[in-house]
Structure 1
């Protein structure tokens, strides 16, 4: 069954080259928008204002200023019935009291895909020895820098991103982009965050193997034989967040956050226009003595057209738990509970370590 699924996915990926490599797309480099850290997934990714650890390099680099020591983060998630793997690693290091640097790497890939384009030779004979395996993978490498501003509570951060996308021997690309972010905390513990992704419109340049592409398009009847465009531009996105944390009787804490995620394109988000689209996200985290955490969230609100032509609003619910002890934090999240969206269930695990453990 997995082999069959991989064969189908392989065909879709190859056909997707001609769709994704256009000059400007509403959805491009989408693997960089999935998110990182099981704790964030548990809150439906509503963490732009409150993020304050090594994972802030992804969510809002300005939040790195709240780090007190070096940190390492690791995450693994399986998608599409374990066919695709999503992995993430990050390291952050304070330079002084006013600046922090971080580096992170993301890989979203499907391995051991069946290449059946040569299964039938020119004479119409089937030869299973002509089947080969290949992988398709997207890589994102991010360097983050954060610095405190003279205004108390206001921090800024920037990301420099390098994107590498590989589809076997058929096509590959390099991409580059920048993010910019702000985070502000008031004396009454209200937190505000702004994250502008791909502010320079991340640019991808594709290199397509013409010989291999001819094999693909020739293997799928009715497909266009012309090569797709070799440039791809990722449009900017904007995330705004507001958060507040309460502490009760020194032992119990409650963190709440609401985010507003904007795309500068018309999509099926719950609020959409020709200029921009917006979908909200909200998350809650209950904590006990900074040891045990329970999280719930809802996000990805979308307008969905049903089979009968009627419209409805779908959303993605999330839950998660976390445990923290002596610099070690383990988090788990289950996304898309119930049948509220078109996405599949995903189990996400992440590990965070304070550098003091290695001293």
Structure 2
């Protein structure tokens, strides 16, 4: 039994048992509860503004759109480290994808985020009001840790459609409290001719939940990403061009956090461009909402190195570097 198949069986058992163990819990809509799941995977896609639902790389398909795993012929591993917002936040991503028996393809993905040195404060004398003589002091420092373990599988359907599913286990710790939960993503995609790809990913489709040690249970509402990608070979220049566009829709009012808001629905458009020279050197650029992104990559027979940079109006530059191996 391969490690991928074992992971699928384990997740299936957990997902079957989960509803019974939390049948009496009261759900609370946790706005941004699943935000760490939306940080992206792989520097190639992020340099293109995150527009990747229609044409993800084999290693990142389990994250962006599991149906993109269909057709892979080799094993793929990718690792990415990111330093966010002037090193206030670190993010690591690891994935493994491979073809499987029966026309299936599978992937395992790990996402881990960390915020360190968060001060826990109190008044020097909690029984007295705040004053010059009774000031706020730092009692201790703690951290925030978030972990997601994902297992995806995909296959080809009749009519040209590809379909995939991604089950995920979620873990969080903040100070002395912790939470765990699970979720399910579904994805579909297909080719429209030789140059155009379309894709749709439904994330947290069944409403992912997080059960906290405090007794609170948060719900992560579903979101949907739809997009397309157009590719063209420029034979005279020995180059290939890919243009991609996505729209990420959430069913929760996010205010100024996203570009478009209409009642409870908010949406973020993403666009990206890749110029690949001799299938070796890649130059990329894009927009994630109103945040510009750019990057570059080097592709060899079995190794791939990519870098991405994104500018945030208030929080500065985010840089990400990913390394991939294919065999």
Match of 1:31 among 4, 15, 36: 36
User: Is 2:203 the partner of 1:204?
Assistant: no
For 1:217, the equivalent position in structure 2 comes to none
Match of 1:327 among 294, 297, 302: 302
User: What is the TM-score of this pair, normalised by structure 1?
Assistant: 0.76
- The answer on whether the counterparts of 2:271 and 2:287 sit within 8 Å (CA) in structure 1 is yes
Deviations 1:138-170 (A, max 9, x none): 111111111111223x2101010111000132x
Deviations 1:210-267 (A, max 9, x none): xxxxxxxxxxxxxxxxxxx711101110000011110011720000011111111233
User: Is 2:55 the partner of 1:66?
Assistant: no
1:125-274 matches, cutoff 5 A: 132-152=140-160, 154-169=161-176, 171-208=177-214, 230-249=216-235, 251-268=238-255, 269-274=258-263
C-alpha separation in 1, matches of 2:155 and 2:211: 32
C-alpha separation in 2, matches of 1:168 and 1:277: 31
Q: 3-state SS of the aligned residue for 1:66? A: coil
C-alpha separation in 2, matches of 1:343 and 1:161: 30
C-alpha separation in 2, matches of 1:97 and 1:252: 35
Q: 3-state SS of the aligned residue for 2:70? A: helix
C-alpha separation in 1, matches of 2:154 and 2:250: 24
C-alpha separation in 2, matches of 1:112 and 1:279: 31
Change (3 A) 1:344 1:244: same
The count of corresponding residues between Structure 1 and Structure 2 is 294
Instruction: Provide structure 1 residue ranges, at least 5 long, that are not aligned to the other structure.
Output: 1-20, 209-228, 301-314
RMSD over aligned Cα, in angstroms?
2.5
Instruction: Provide structure 2 residue ranges, at least 5 long, that are not aligned to the other structure.
Output: 1-25
Q: 3-state SS of the aligned residue for 2:158? A: coil
Deviations 1:315-355 (A, max 9, x none): 1100010001121000001101xxx633431110001111x
Change (3 A) 1:141 1:195: same
C-alpha separation in 1, matches of 2:61 and 2:166: 11
Change (3 A) 1:119 1:94: farther
The structure with the greater share of residues assigned to strand is 2
Q: 3-state SS of the aligned residue for 2:68? A: helix
- The answer on whether the counterparts of 2:85 and 2:315 sit within 8 Å (CA) in structure 1 is no
- The answer on whether the counterparts of 1:75 and 1:348 sit within 8 Å (CA) in structure 2 is yes
Deviation at 1:284, TM superposition (A): 0.3
C-alpha separation in 2, matches of 1:116 and 1:263: 34
Q: 3-state SS of the aligned residue for 1:23? A: strand
Match of 2:317 among 331, 345, 354: 345
